Structure 1
């Protein structure tokens, strides 16, 4: 199976980044090939649910210590994160989970193990109200709430442990990838970020909502909504809002009745328009790898096709024919293909 790299990504006329290195040559190497029996996008997507949750084959991340990161924004909310410190000296990789995920999500633990083995320390972050952060937060995150990432980093730096001194890297998964790209544009001068990567980020939230709402995705929709309701009903809600959250039958309806009004957007369309990463890509100056799959049942690859990557010299699109949504369970290694490619990319950025 051949990998599909966005047409023109390395052709003449592409702007060259300030470091003069051009496009990452790894875009052409080691194309993704699925590992049996996970041979299509849906199987790739549900593999972690089946193996980790259904069969109880848990993943063991590297040893970690729990970090409390007060946001200091007047809310009193605090994020919790799991820090694994490697002796490899390659720097710190901050992992940002997707919608209804947390630091304990299978892809977060798997990536932490892969990067620890490659010599990186990792910080598995629980966003506001997610996972164990829920006990220390009275509010929740959304895809554009990038100030939480900034305030969490400031709290980490304020501990005085010099944790950024060997390099700071980011990886955002799914909705966390959209948040990360927006963050890179808005806070590009605030932190010494060496490089970043996203995996299956819905860079056009409206297009992703339409794609996800297809009839074929009814089971995904039901499962994700169950998780979203679980995370939401614990918040202080009016009776009307509580009932509306429980009545929502699609992610779009959920964002229409809860996310948009709670965070000051006119409606779901306004929320999607203001928070979609596609609006911020041309402001990103951090070398970044955007990994996506043509057969992703949650995020349309067409959103990536619509971007003029020629004009974005700091962004490197890596488009695979297969892999599903944050799957990429490939041949020749039990380490997910996206982790292997991101490790290669980070090393390339460092020369």
Structure 2
């Protein structure tokens, strides 16, 4: 039977896992096992200035024909970049459907590391604000749709909950988002996730310890010595950004604490079998009390997986395109209502 979304929008396409990618782990690992799609041909490099002089690198891909669609700004997850497999897949699909897509590399992630000494964190929305304000006027002329994958989704939802900062953001989508940062940290450190945790911690250290990173010797030692994700956040991320510790950092930036402030259409897509994000983070929320947010929760799909029957395009990308079209934010119809 199809695993349909639990959503206030029942018109979203149903999700059913595609064999052999059955279960949350295989859904999560599929792109690593067989590889992701090839990168788009061409693309434009933009460098977006931060107030302190750092520059964020972004990649812009445009459809072959200008179809009047708003700009998609896509933010990646923890230790990710514009080259993340699921980000490339999202960009390829949405560009093919007529949207221009800008993939933003957060501060300190590749390839932004070459032009920025600073670092991102889960709720550093001031960087997202500065990046959007730094975009050329012609790119912003039809408005912007934000899409956040994984940790990037937390950033996007916090931005939305803060009121949008006076920017022409029309809608937002968050996929496989750790909306409760403390709970997701604990989940990733659980024994069943040992391999995931070791991989992510190694990637985070590699990213943070890049030679060009603006760090003190003590910070480099704290990063290198962190034995787990919590220690990385508690001994480096939290003090680096002025938080009292990991718990203060998590509570101050968790998207769950900002959802009630949403004032623009927002779609949340999440699989309840995500091995990295506990289902309770989502089932504990009364979504009916959040009128601007539609939460489509599937039983299967893993973390940034959603490899479903009927299409090689991940379900979350197809659902996003359909939802945006319904909201009148699709190519040739951004002001239509369907």
8 Å CA contact 2:234, 2:246 repeated in 1: yes
| 1:334 equivalent among 312, 317, 327 | 312
SS at 1:163 equivalent: helix
Q: Aligned equivalents of 2:41 and 2:91: distance in 1?
A: 7
| 1:255 equivalent among 233, 245, 255 | 233
Match of 1:85?
62
Match of 1:15?
none
| 2:283 equivalent among 284, 288, 305 | 305
| 2:33 equivalent among 50, 56, 68 | 50
TM-superposed CA distance for 1:301, in Å, is 1.6
TM-superposed CA distance for 1:307, in Å, is 1.1
Question: Is residue 13 of structure 2 the alignment partner of residue 40 of structure 1?
Answer: no
Change (3 A) 1:33 1:222: same
Q: Aligned equivalents of 2:302 and 2:221: distance in 1?
A: 33
SS at 1:223 equivalent: helix
Question: Is residue 263 of structure 2 the alignment partner of residue 276 of structure 1?
Answer: no
For 1:259-311, what per-residue CA distance to the aligned partner results, in whole angstroms no more than 9, with x for missing partners? 00100000000000000001110001111110000110001121111112111
Change (3 A) 1:329 1:163: same
Match of 1:16?
none
For 1:152-206, what per-residue CA distance to the aligned partner results, in whole angstroms no more than 9, with x for missing partners? 01110xx33x212223111100110001000112242511222111101111101
| TM-score normalised by the chain length of structure 1 | 0.89
TM-superposed CA distance for 1:247, in Å, is 1.8
TM-superposed CA distance for 1:5, in Å, is 4.3
8 Å CA contact 1:24, 1:348 repeated in 2: no
Question: Is residue 129 of structure 2 the alignment partner of residue 146 of structure 1?
Answer: no
Q: Aligned equivalents of 1:62 and 1:206: distance in 2?
A: 39
Equivalent residues in 2 for 1:41-120 (5 A)?
Answer: 41-52=24-35, 58-61=37-40, 63-71=42-50, 73=51, 75-86=52-63, 87-120=66-99
Equivalent residues in 2 for 1:214-293 (5 A)?
Answer: 214-234=190-210, 235-293=213-271
Question: Is residue 178 of structure 2 the alignment partner of residue 202 of structure 1?
Answer: yes
Match of 1:347?
325
Q: Aligned equivalents of 1:186 and 1:305: distance in 2?
A: 23
8 Å CA contact 1:62, 1:112 repeated in 2: no
Match of 1:19?
none
Match of 1:31?
14
8 Å CA contact 2:163, 2:263 repeated in 1: no
8 Å CA contact 1:79, 1:125 repeated in 2: yes
8 Å CA contact 1:150, 1:187 repeated in 2: no
TM-superposed CA distance for 1:3, in Å, is 2.8
How many residue pairs match? The answer is 325
| TM-score normalised by the chain length of structure 2 | 0.93
Q: Structure 2: which 5+ runs fail to align? A: 329-336
8 Å CA contact 1:90, 1:166 repeated in 2: yes
8 Å CA contact 1:95, 1:123 repeated in 2: yes
8 Å CA contact 2:71, 2:144 repeated in 1: yes
Match of 2:331?
none
Q: Aligned equivalents of 2:243 and 2:163: distance in 1?
A: 22
Q: Structure 1: which 5+ runs fail to align? A: 10-22
| 1:183 equivalent among 159, 162, 174 | 159
8 Å CA contact 1:34, 1:322 repeated in 2: yes
- 4+ runs of 1 displaced by more than 6 Å? none
